């Protein structure tokens, strides 16, 4: 079999239907074995819990072709664990973590021709998701669920790839204290659709959300955590109970400290101090690390010294090291890269 003929270097972050997807059904209190199928369509009751009460959650991870031609995934065990935590918060059955990793492997193997070649700039994005499918009209969790994984080849999440973006500070809040901000529930993204469209209409690539209780602290964006770099080179990331525990951010903090010997801090970050940072970036599976050049807010704007042309030097070093680990050119901590053969 041969790689699909796609213009790998120029694909955006969009959905392309690939050959196979995995589906497993939860019924009568148990998950079935699951299978790879061809059909990308889903049929369900008009009263399915997911349609009425948004009982759905998801994950995101990528498969890469390494420099020596292997196909790998990055830390899928952490996606399995996070989906477990999300499911428990949403009263959904947990899809077993070992089965989750097996399903990831099956989907990547069955769609190997869709894994972009090394050096193309593209990757294969995997989207595990789960939803309540049986009819529910009183407000309660479903009894029947589907767990699925599909995959789609993707390019950069933000247009322009590694070029710095301009973001704005949203007037809306993303997640309440003690709410669902720390899990990957579909509802967190439904609420962000209006703010992101407002941001786009005003010419901004993304929203910075502040903590809803005091609106003084930086939380995250709609689809990525923040990383800042101080003028003396310390990597700082916001600590909050209402942001998603990004696997990319947690990995980058380890890379910064243990691989690159940088000073790192995970702490509350006040919006007032953002103007004093030298560099800013958004990190996530889709975003990788996208540099932020400018933040526009009600009372002014922050122009980071790293500018609008290129990534700042520290963020570039982090980007090169992380992507090097993912693509097999840099040795990473043990167990981070799962080979799928």
Give the footprint of ligand COI on residues 51-110 (CB under 6 A). Answer: 60
Supply the minimum distance, in Å, between the C-beta of residue 300 and ligand COI.
Answer: 29
Q: On the CB side of 162, how many CA atoms lie within 13 Å of its CA?
A: 14
224 binds ligand PLP (CB under 6 A): yes
Give me the residue whose beta carbon is nearest to ligand PLP.
284
Among 146, 220, 229, 311, binds ligand PLP (CB under 6 A): 220
Q: Within positions 146 to 205, which residues make up the interface with ligand PLP, using CB under 6 A?
A: none
Using CA atoms, how far apart are residues 13 and 24, in angstroms rounded to an integer? 26
Structure tokens at 103: 């399903």
Sign of CA dihedral 124, 128, 134, 138: negative
* Contact positions with ligand PLP (CB under 6 A) in 267-296: 284-285
Among 60, 128, 195, 312, binds ligand PLP (CB under 6 A): 60
With tokens 């990190």, the residue in question is 283
Q: Which alpha helices (H) appear in the chain, and where do they start and end?
A: 49-53, 76-89, 97-110, 186-190, 193-201, 247-254, 313-326
Task: Give just the sign of the alpha carbon dihedral 258, 259, 264, 266.
Answer: negative
Out of 248, 290, 306, 326, point to the residue binding ligand PLP (CB under 6 A): 248
Residues 6+ apart with CB under 8 A from 224: 206, 246, 248, 282, 283, 284, 286, 287, 290
Asked whether position 284 contacts ligand COI by CB under 6 A, the answer is: yes
Q: With binding defined as CB under 6 A, does residue 181 bind ligand COI?
A: no
Gap between the Cα atoms of 119 and 141, Å rounded: 45
Q: From the CB of 18, what's the least distance to ligand PLP, in Å?
A: 20
**Candidate residues 170, 225, 240, 285; the one interacting with ligand COI per rule CB under 6 A:** 285
Cβ-based nearer residue to ligand PLP, 60 or 116: 60
Q: Which is nearer to ligand PLP, 153 or 223 (CB)?
A: 223
Applying CB under 6 A, the span of 211-219, 243-251, 255-263, 324-332 interacting with ligand PLP comes to 243-251
How many of the chain's residues bind ligand PLP (CB under 6 A)? 12
Nearest distance in Å: CB 123, ligand PLP: 12
**Strand-strand pairing, 35-37 and 21-27:** antiparallel
| Residue-by-residue DSSP string for 11-64 | --S-----S-EEEEEEETTEE---EEES-------TTBHHHHH--EEE--EEEE
Report which residue's Cβ sits closest to ligand COI.
60
From the list ligand COI, ligand PLP, none, which binds 311 (C-beta under 5 to 8 Å, kind-based)?
none
Residue 184 Cβ vs ligand PLP, minimum distance, rounded to whole Å: 6
The DSSP output letter for 337 is E
| Cβ burial, residue 63 (10 Å; 0-12/13-18/19+) | buried
Binding site for ligand PLP (CB under 6 A): 60, 220, 223-225, 244, 246-249, 284-285
Residues interacting with ligand COI, by CB under 6 A? 60, 223, 284-286
């Amino acid at each position: 079999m041969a790689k699909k003929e796609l213009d790998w270097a120029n694909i955006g972050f969009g959905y392309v239907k690939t050959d196979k997807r995995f589906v497993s059904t939860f019924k009568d209190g148990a998950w079935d074995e699951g299978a790879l199928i061809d059909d990308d369509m889903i049929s369900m009751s008009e009263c399915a819990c997911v349609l009425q009460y948004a009982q759905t959650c998801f994950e995101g991870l990528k498969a890469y072709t390494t420099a020596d031609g292997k196909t790998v995934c990055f830390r899928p065990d952490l996606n399995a664990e996070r989906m477990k935590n999300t499911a428990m918060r949403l009263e959904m059955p947990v899809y077993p973590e070992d089965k989750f990793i097996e399903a990831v492997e099956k989907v990547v193997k069955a769609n190997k021709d869709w894994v972009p070649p090394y050096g193309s700039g593209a990757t294969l994005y995997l989207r595990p998701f789960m939803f309540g499918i049986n009819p529910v009209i009183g407000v309660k969790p479903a009894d029947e669920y589907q767990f699925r994984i599909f995959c789609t080849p993707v390019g950069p999440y933000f247009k322009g790839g590694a070029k710095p973006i301009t973001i704005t500070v949203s007037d809306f809040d993303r997640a309440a204290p003690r709410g669902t901000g720390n899990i990957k529930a579909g509802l967190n993204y439904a609420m962000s659709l209006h703010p992101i469209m407002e941001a786009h209409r005003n010419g901004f690539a993304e929203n910075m959300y502040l903590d809803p209780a005091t609106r003084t602290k930086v939380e995250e964006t709609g689809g990525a955590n923040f990383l800042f770099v101080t003028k003396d080179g310390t990597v700082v990331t916001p600590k909050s109970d209402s942001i998603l525990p990004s696997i990319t951010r947690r990995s980058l903090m380890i890379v910064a400290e243990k691989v690159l010997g940088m000073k790192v801090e995970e702490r509350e970050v006040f919006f007032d101090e953002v103007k004093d940072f030298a560099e800013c970036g958004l990190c996530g599976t889709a975003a990788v690390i996208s540099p932020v050049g400018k933040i526009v807010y009600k009372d002014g704007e922050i122009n980071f010294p790293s500018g609008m042309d290129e990534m700042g030097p520290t963020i570039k070093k982090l980007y090169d090291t992380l992507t090097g680990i993912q693509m097999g050119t840099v040795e990473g901590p043990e167990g981070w890269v799962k080979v799928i053969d």
